Chains A and B, each alone.
Chain A
Amino acid sequence: GNSVTQMEGPVTLSEEAFLTINCTYTATGYPSLFWYVQYPGEGLQLLLKATKADDKGSNKGFEATYRKETTSFHLEKGSVQVSDSAVYFCALSRRDTGRRALTFGSGTRLQVQP
């Protein structure tokens, strides 16, 4: 079956530090990959996506590259801000079946200190 594994949190960084949140996946077929962010008390917001191997998704300074050879989709940001404090979820969606439901990782809490 499909699964997504994320690094354990919380991740605590100082403002302007470099961020990496690891995500690896297991899937049959050819999944699309997503990062969602959940701010306290809110729903999930799409952060970025990639739909095929070597695609790079980017948004708001965050980037992630779809690596088929390592089955990874690590999230990176060069300089984090306090406002980036949230829970980040890596997710996949199968493309080769009619089932489009997202399979999520367990989430990684990021805390950025001033």
Chain B
Amino acid sequence: DSGVTQTPKHLITATGQRVTLRCSPRSGDLSVYWYQQSLDQGLQFLIQYYNGEERAKGNILERFSAQQFPDLHSELNLSSLELGDSALYFCASSVGTASQPQHFGDGTRLSIL
């Protein structure tokens, strides 16, 4: 058990819809990262938050947004969903330094019909 909790485990929705993925980091971790894993793109970094503030952006679409709340949990919002957004979305957390590893949740599998 990594200590990182992601909900829901599975989401099935239709094109054009909006969904919210939730992540609770490990106790004591201030950084939260979101990654997308798909067959064609592999594992790609989307966005990082540190103690409530956006720290870095990766290959995140404008239709996607995220935030980290005062209790340090984070949400990833995906809107105007397209078939190509079907993927496994992982949240990871760490204390925030590069030498310390990131610990991953079990992911949310998003299927767009």
Contacts and interface: CB of A to CB of B under 8 A. Distances in A.
B99 A32 contact: yes
A94 B98 contact: yes
Interface stretch (B11-19, B42-50, B69-77, B78-86): B42-50
Interface residues of A, number: 24
B51 interface: no
A50 to B, nearest CB: 10
A107 B2 CA distance: 20
Contacts, number: 63
B102 interface: yes
Contact of B104 (A32, A45, A94, A95): A45
B25 interface: no
B97 A45 contact: no
Given A102-B33, A104-B43, A49 B90 contact: no
